Structure 1
Amino acid sequence: MNQNLSSYWIFYTVANAGNISKAAKELYISQPAISKSIQKLEDGLECKLFSRSSRGVVLTDEGRLLYDHVSEAFEALNEGEEKLKRSIELGVGQLKIGVSSTLCKYMLLPYLKEFIHRNPHISISIECQSTNETLKLLDDDKIDIGLIGKPASLKTFNFYYLDNIEDIFVTTKDYLRNLSARGVKKSEILQNSTLMLLDKGNMTRKYIDDYLQENQIHVKDSIDISNMDLLIDFAKIGVGVACVIKSIVSKELADGTLIEIPLGIPIHKREVGFAYKESSKLSTSLQTFIKFYESYTPEDF
């Protein structure tokens, strides 16, 4: 485009008004300034855009051709402005959240349910993967916020604490009875069981591996399982001893479906919360979500 937008706006206003004096009042500029702008536009386009009449000015054939396109352009701009205003008024936006499948199901969903109810025009996308992967996506600016187990180092992340989670080992009464029949002592259950743990590379798995190593618990047999729900299901049918989050199996512990293995040294509780990158320019959607979770506590959480 060889001319600036203001020149075309003056041209468009004069064409609609059909009179330079009237256009000058609408634009709050002098008539000479309008005439100079039109002359400059005509010189740049190398054609006459207006011809004078007794009533004012009228478009030439060339002017009419240009007006049709300029009119469409300004109408499109006006439409864009109106859509933007409506979007802002409605709170339209997008929010990308990273979270593990376990935390998504048992911790994030209650927040999302109420947030979506209050902000129906913000579209949510979920990236389900381990906390380590979530932190990488945050670092690469590929997601807006993550629900994570608090890492040893937060680096450049803001962290908002939600709750503690407690890891425990569970199995069935029958599995414990069979171990006892083989002469396994209560203090040696983990060493002599088939331990079912989350896949390696998961932050929870590393946390449990560190616990086992620090307490010199040497595992003879173990199974890597992809998610917490499968760990619980396998534990229920007596495959072995599973490491799970205590709050998730509270019902099974209460009705005796699963039994918690007593530990001489309990596993330290871990902090869980929302994290986002400090250096990021926060989108309106993310700011809305942050204000929401800072003031909201799910009833069933």
Structure 2
Amino acid sequence: MITKLDLYKVFCEVCKCKSFSKAAKELYMTQPAVSQAIMQLEEELDTRLFTRIPKGVVLTNEGQLLFEYISSAINLINVGETKLLECKNLMAGELRLGVGDTNSKYFLLPYLEEFHGKYPNIKLQVINRTTLEICNMLKSGEVDIGICNFPIKDPALEKIHCKDIHDIFVCGDKFKEIASKQLTFKEVSKLPLILLEPKSNSRIYIEKYMLSKNLIISPEIELGSHDLLLEFAKINLGIACVIKEFSQRYLKEGTLYEVKTIEKIPKRSIGICYLKSVSLSQAAKKFIEIMEKKKNEILNT
């Protein structure tokens, strides 16, 4: 029995080929079978869909109207079938990740390496943006997963904690004496500070915390990356606010010194975000599984 969906598939192919005979070849059907399918569809809809011409057929006005909707529906079905196959086998597809430059370099790389090793046929698209921009991209469907700096207060997003991080101030040799003392945040605020640009989540977090202490910080230098913060502090251009976990090489080598403060800036974290209202692809689920597995391994060591 030919279903209505089968009839619509025949209809779409005839529309594309503008010929019953050519459509029959594409569908591996006989021309009479194609003609019969179109006749049956026209009877069910009580509408003539094609006008026959010497070189084939053309759509009637009613046929053109129907084709605009049916072709979209058929395309969506084909996309759905393709996606389903990709989900089953992870032999094709794409994973779009939104991540900041710093998290990409110091946090994400091991997970990318493991995922690519297991699923080499999945195309990885890594888009570098700030946390705020990544959240907006998640909601607009431009990325599947975001690796973001927490805290994030957005009820539309699912959030999974991955790693704690700590913000500290560091300096170079010129300010070495400062590092031997314990300073108040008020004293720190009066130093020549080097901070990330205002739109970064890290900068927003530091400013909010300082404001809770009734302090407004005004940096002398604003930069676009964590690596530049480290390098500018290294050549004594000021005191930089950096992530301790991502600055270990400089601290261990002694090219930078941690500025001790009486109080500590509360820890924050890095985590995974994705849109609650949209089902994750199989590739996205596998990537999150890898990240959570590694997190549990670290916690258990």
Normalising by structure 2, what TM-score? 0.69
Number of residue pairs aligned between Structure 1 and Structure 2: 251
| Alpha-carbon distance change, 91 to 172 in structure 1, aligned in 2, over 3 angstroms | same
- The answer to which of 149-158 and 211-220 deviates more is 211-220
Amino acid at match of 2:146: G
Quote the residue 2:7 is aligned against: 4
| Alpha-carbon distance change, 128 to 300 in structure 1, aligned in 2, over 3 angstroms | farther
Amino acid at match of 2:252: A
Amino acid at match of 1:107: F
Quote the residue 1:222 is aligned against: 220
Quote the residue 1:201 is aligned against: 199
What is the alpha-carbon root mean square deviation over aligned residues?
4.2
Q: 2:233 aligns with which of 218, 232, 235?
A: 235
1:18-167 correspondence runs (5 A): 37=36, 84=82, 89-167=89-167
Output one character per residue of 1:114-159: Cα deviation in whole Å (capped at 9) or x when no partner: 1111111111112211111111111222211100112341312111
Structure number with greater Rg is 1
Amino acid at match of 1:166: H
| Alpha-carbon distance change, 161 to 186 in structure 1, aligned in 2, over 3 angstroms | closer
Quote the residue 2:286 is aligned against: 288
Deviation at 1:280, TM superposition (A): 0.8
Amino acid at match of 2:137: L
Quote the residue 2:72 is aligned against: none
Quote the residue 1:69 is aligned against: none
Quote the residue 2:73 is aligned against: none
CA distance in 2, matches of 1:216, 1:136: 31
| Alpha-carbon distance change, 163 to 4 in structure 1, aligned in 2, over 3 angstroms | same
CA distance in 2, matches of 1:96, 1:13: 37
CA distance in 1, matches of 2:251, 2:38: 86
| Alpha-carbon distance change, 239 to 298 in structure 1, aligned in 2, over 3 angstroms | farther
CA distance in 1, matches of 2:243, 2:38: 77
Output one character per residue of 1:140-182: Cα deviation in whole Å (capped at 9) or x when no partner: 22211100112341312111111101000000232234x69xx
Matched, 1:267 2:265: yes
Deviation at 1:262, TM superposition (A): 1.0
Matched, 1:191 2:194: no
Quote the residue 2:64 is aligned against: none
| Alpha-carbon distance change, 40 to 108 in structure 1, aligned in 2, over 3 angstroms | same
Q: 1:247 aligns with which of 240, 245, 248?
A: 245
Native 8 Å contact 2:162 2:292 kept in 1: no
CA distance in 2, matches of 1:195, 1:7: 69
Amino acid at match of 1:4: L
Amino acid at match of 2:7: N
Identity of matched residues, %:
28
CA distance in 2, matches of 1:200, 1:102: 16
Normalising by structure 1, what TM-score? 0.69
Deviation at 1:86, TM superposition (A): 7.7
Native 8 Å contact 1:190 1:217 kept in 2: no
Quote the residue 1:28 is aligned against: none
| Alpha-carbon distance change, 94 to 14 in structure 1, aligned in 2, over 3 angstroms | closer
CA distance in 2, matches of 1:115, 1:263: 40
For the residue of structure 2 that corresponds to 1:296, the secondary structure is helix
Deviation at 1:37, TM superposition (A): 4.8
Native 8 Å contact 2:183 2:262 kept in 1: no
CA distance in 2, matches of 1:257, 1:115: 34
| Alpha-carbon distance change, 108 to 4 in structure 1, aligned in 2, over 3 angstroms | same
